[in-house]
């Protein structure tokens, strides 16, 4: 059975690595639902957060193939339940219909959204949450005909009390030093 | 070592020398010209083999790597030069062959502008290289080359590619070389877990019908002696994969033959009777397993493998021993009890008798008028005292040669296993001959595959490489034809070839040869080829529509192996 999995990959910061990782999915015809890349808390180490819908057996193999790449330090996978995650969405809504309606205040308040910018033509609203939450707000705001909408890739943290990468790096450094 | 001021191109050559390189297979062109200019000054230190096509260069480098265990070095220009390497890189990737490929690239300001002979070889080769890297400044060269060698040759070996922009070749740097010994994100030498070894040993000691499947990992890991010690202590029958051929002498009493689609009857059939499979340095390729859900149905699985991503990829392991085959087998041998499985080995020998009667005797000692591939292979093996290096192309001749050629020494089988690259044989044979100059190299090639890289006769002639080339000519793309016959109602769609006069072509290249079509002349013909001083081409006109058997049909279980149509 296919489920949503969050794959977290820690890598060196090398050009071409994004392709090296994504072709592992492409080759197996696995669609990447969401992808976020940014520098981790450890300088020089980058973190990929990848969301896919797959069976556990397939995600296990894919993570094995990712970890095999030379510039990859470590790759993990988790179910949604094992992680705390968020996505951010921005909505640009025309000012005119909002002006004429009396629901915008309750929509924004109930969604826990906030307003980033107001001009004479539009309002930009921001909401952070899971996809179903940001999608629900989209449906509501679309009454006013949303002009532009963008949702980010997912960012996620584990519920583990320890930072597994730091542990891993400590062990790895100790091992490499033992080689000298 | 004090730094010296050199150009990027010189730094490349000096780096290669630091890594012990003595042979380069290559082809010049615009974007690699500075490197070729530097190479001109090092003709005593490095032998450059000018091939006739970049595909010839890379298969040559593969052949060299496979017989020496050293990385094969390949040099090509940008654009088409680089893309012509791709098939060989993919072949080396799937067969775990260490290669360091160096390609020229347009000058860095021109990258991404569709400049003349620009191709995105780094982007293109990502899925088929173990690692690749583009160098755009001369200062990066020594470190990039050091990392390339470290990555290509350690752990599960594979091809790496370094793309070198022309400005990096021209620019100057202070050269200092330091070999790479570690990379933070890549730790290939995993420690073998003694608990896993113990768990494996317990299964082995308890097994009634254990069977060893060994692959290329034995040869790559130089674990031939450890394998022998292990099987001799335990008395367990051992079968080789296509890529594992020659890791154990053919005639070893516990060698029960070849696995796979056209392998031997016994090891395929008895895979489903074994109660324990000990797989070493192999990856359960689909040609070995047949239908996975009906594979090794009564067996527990021990998988000894250096690449953790291979464990549980196809066949779930009950015990996985991650690590180098040499180390793991050594530890395992120390942990198992002395044993023998003579009655079980006898089961394999009974199968051999059946296969001998139904298939082998007809292949090796035919009574029909037409020559068989099998008898040619048998005679070639005999006339070289079973000590030659066998290089094959892909197709029927490959399967027949792998089945019937006999081996006394390891690293004596060079074939394109995983990728099945037609055109591999001829260029790989010249690389094998350069890597093993004192050995006889016999190349078994079909008439189809031969014409894919026929131009390398020029390289063989120019370098006076005494390769013994056997063309097994049936005027067909034989393996495809066999499948058309068996599975496509004999609809021979585009598999018949009108061939040139191969002997005249060879003569045109300055290579001697002759053609044989009669059994009474076959032995003498092979003898003449073997005795000839220098390269030789022997064309054998064989039966047009012979098939390779036994066969595990696609999608069938290994125990449903068929001996005849």
- What confidence tens digit (pLDDT) does each residue in B342-386 have? 999 999 999 999 999 999 999 999 999 999 999 999 999 999 999
List the catalytic residue out of B373, B479, B529, B551: B479
Domain with CATH 3.30.70.1150 in chain A: 86-151
> Is A68–B307 a contact, with Cβ atoms under 8 angstroms apart?
yes
CA-based nearest residue to B514, from B492, B532, B491, B494: B532
Q: Indicate the CATH number for domain A3-84+155-179.
A: 3.30.70.260
Asked about B116 being catalytic, the answer comes back as: yes
Share the mean pLDDT of chain B. 97
Asked about B54 being catalytic, the answer comes back as: yes
Asked about B134 being catalytic, the answer comes back as: no
| pLDDT beyond 60 at B1 | no
Q: Indicate the CATH number for domain A86-151.
A: 3.30.70.1150
> Is A23–B309 a contact, with Cβ atoms under 8 angstroms apart?
no
Name the band, by pLDDT with cuts 50, 70 and 90, for residue B401: very high
Q: Given this model, what pLDDT does residue B23 score? A: 98
Domain with CATH 3.30.70.260 in chain A: 3-84+155-179
- Best mutation target, B94, B184, B293, B303, to test chain A (most A CBs within 10 A): B184
Q: Which domains does chain B have, with CATH numbers?
A: 4-175 (3.40.50.970), 194-348 (3.40.50.1220), 369-541 (3.40.50.970)
Contacts of A61 in chain B (CB under 8 A): 309, 312-313
Asked about B456 being catalytic, the answer comes back as: no
User: B497 with B476: CB under 8 angstroms?
Assistant: yes
List the catalytic residue out of B18, B33, B117, B198: B117
User: What number of residues does chain A have?
Assistant: 180
Name the band, by pLDDT with cuts 50, 70 and 90, for residue B172: very high
> Is B185–A73 a contact, with Cβ atoms under 8 angstroms apart?
yes
Smallest CA–CA separation between A27 and chain B, in Å?
A: 9
CA distance B246 to B227: 12
User: B135 with B163: CB under 8 angstroms?
Assistant: yes
Asked about B462 being catalytic, the answer comes back as: no
Per-residue pLDDT reduced to its tens digit, B97-112:
999 999 999 999 999 9
DSSP H or E segment with residue B355: helix B342-355
User: B57 with B28: CB under 8 angstroms?
Assistant: no
What are the C-alpha distances in Å from B16 to residues B46, B243, B470? 9, 28, 35
Q: What is the SS3 assignment for B26?
A: strand
CA distance B39 to B57: 16
A70 close contact with B: CB closer than 8 A = yes
Provide CB contacts within 8 A for B420, sequence distance 6+.
Answer: B394
Contacts of B151 in chain A (CB under 8 A): 70
> Is B309–A68 a contact, with Cβ atoms under 8 angstroms apart?
yes
User: B253 with B340: CB under 8 angstroms?
Assistant: no
Average pLDDT, integer, range B7-16: 98
CA distance B304 to B282: 8
A55 close contact with B: CB closer than 8 A = no
User: Alpha helix locations (H) across B184-243?
Assistant: 194-206, 216-220, 224-234
């Amino acid at each position: 059975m296919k489920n949503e999995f969050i794959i977290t990959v820690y890598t060196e910061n090398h050009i071409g690595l994004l392709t090296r990782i994504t072709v592992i999915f492409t080759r197996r015809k696995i669609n990447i639902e969401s992808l976020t890349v940014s520098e981790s808390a450890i300088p020089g180490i980058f973190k990929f957060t990848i969301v896919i819908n797959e069976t556990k057996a397939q995600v296990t193999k894919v993570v094995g193939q990712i970890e095999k790449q030379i510039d990859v330090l470590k790759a993990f996978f988790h179910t949604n339940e094992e992680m705390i995650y968020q996505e951010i969405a921005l909505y640009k809504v025309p000012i005119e219909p909002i002006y004429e309606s009396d629901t915008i205040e309750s929509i924004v308040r109930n969604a826990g959204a906030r307003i980033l910018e107001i001009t004479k033509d539009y309002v930009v609203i921001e909401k952070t949450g899971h996809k179903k939450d940001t999608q629900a707000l989209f449906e509501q705001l679309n009454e006013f005909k949303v002009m532009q909408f963008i949702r980010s890739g997912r960012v996620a943290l584990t519920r583990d009390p320890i930072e597994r990468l730091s542990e891993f790096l400590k062990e790895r450094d100790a091992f490499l030093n033992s080689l000298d | 070592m004090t730094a010296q001021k050199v150009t990027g191109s010189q730094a490349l050559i000096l780096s290669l020398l630091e890594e012990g390189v003595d042979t380069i297979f290559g082809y010049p062109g615009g974007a690699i010209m500075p490197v070729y200019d530097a190479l001109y000054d090092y003709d005593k230190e490095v032998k450059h083999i000018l091939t006739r096509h970049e595909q010839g260069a890379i298969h040559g480098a593969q052949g060299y790597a496979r017989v020496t265990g050293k990385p094969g070095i390949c040099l090509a220009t940008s654009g088409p030069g680089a893309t012509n390497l791709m098939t060989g890189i993919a072949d080396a990737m799937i067969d775990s062959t260490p290669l360091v490929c160096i390609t020229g690239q347009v000058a860095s300001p021109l990258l991404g502008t569709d400049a003349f002979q620009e191709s995105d070889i780094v982007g293109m080769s990502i899925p088929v290289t173990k690692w690749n890297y583009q160098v755009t400044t001369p200062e990066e060269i020594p470190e990039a080359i050091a990392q390339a060698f470290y990555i290509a040759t350690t752990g599960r070996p594979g091809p790496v590619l370094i793309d070198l922009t022309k400005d990096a070749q021209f620019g100057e740097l202070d050269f200092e070389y330091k070999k790479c010994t570690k990379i933070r994100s890549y730790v290939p030498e995993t420690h073998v877990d003694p608990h896993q070894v113990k768990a494996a040993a317990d299964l082995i000691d308890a097994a009634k019908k254990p069977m060893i499947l060994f692959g290329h990992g034995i040869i790559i890991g130089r674990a031939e002696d450890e394998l022998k010690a292990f099987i001799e202590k335990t008395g367990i029958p051992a079968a080789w994969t296509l890529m594992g051929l020659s890791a154990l002498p053919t005639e070893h009493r516990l060698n029960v033959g070849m696995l796979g689609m056209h392998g031997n009857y016994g090891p395929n059939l008895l895979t489903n009777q074994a109660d324990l499979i000990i797989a070493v340095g192999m990856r359960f390729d689909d040609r070995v397993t047949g239908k996975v859900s009906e594979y090794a149905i009564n067996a527990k699985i021990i998988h000894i493998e250096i690449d953790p991503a291979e464990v549980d990829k196809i066949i779930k392991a009950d015990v996985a021993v991650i690590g180098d085959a040499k180390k793991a087998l050594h530890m395992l041998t120390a942990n198992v009890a002395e044993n023998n499985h003579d009655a079980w080995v006898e089961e394999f020998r009974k199968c051999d008798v059946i296969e001998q009667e139904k298939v082998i005797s007809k292949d090796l000692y035919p009574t029909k008028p037409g020559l068989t591939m099998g008898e040619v292979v048998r005679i070639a093996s005999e006339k070289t005292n079973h000590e030659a290096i066998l290089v094959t192309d892909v197709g029927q001749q490959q399967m027949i040669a792998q089945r019937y050629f006999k081996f006394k020494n390891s690293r004596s089988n060079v074939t394109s296993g995983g990728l099945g690259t037609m055109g591999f044989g001829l260029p790989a044979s010249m690389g094998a001959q350069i890597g093993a100059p004192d050995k006889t190299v016999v190349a078994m090639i079909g008439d189809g595959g031969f014409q894919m890289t026929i131009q390398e006769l020029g390289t063989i002639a120019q370098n006076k490489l005494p390769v013994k080339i056997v063309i097994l000519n049936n005027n067909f793309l034989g393996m495809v034809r066999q499948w058309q016959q068996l599975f496509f109602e004999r609809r021979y769609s585009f598999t018949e070839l009108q061939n040139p006069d191969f002997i005249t072509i060879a003569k045109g290249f300055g290579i001697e040869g002759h053609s044989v079509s009669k059994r009474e002349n076959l032995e003498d013909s092979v003898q003449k080829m073997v005795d000839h001083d220098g390269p030789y081409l022997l064309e054998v006109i064989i039966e047009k529509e012979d098939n390779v058997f036994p066969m595990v049909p696609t999608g069938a279980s290994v125990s449903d192996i068929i001996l005849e149509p």
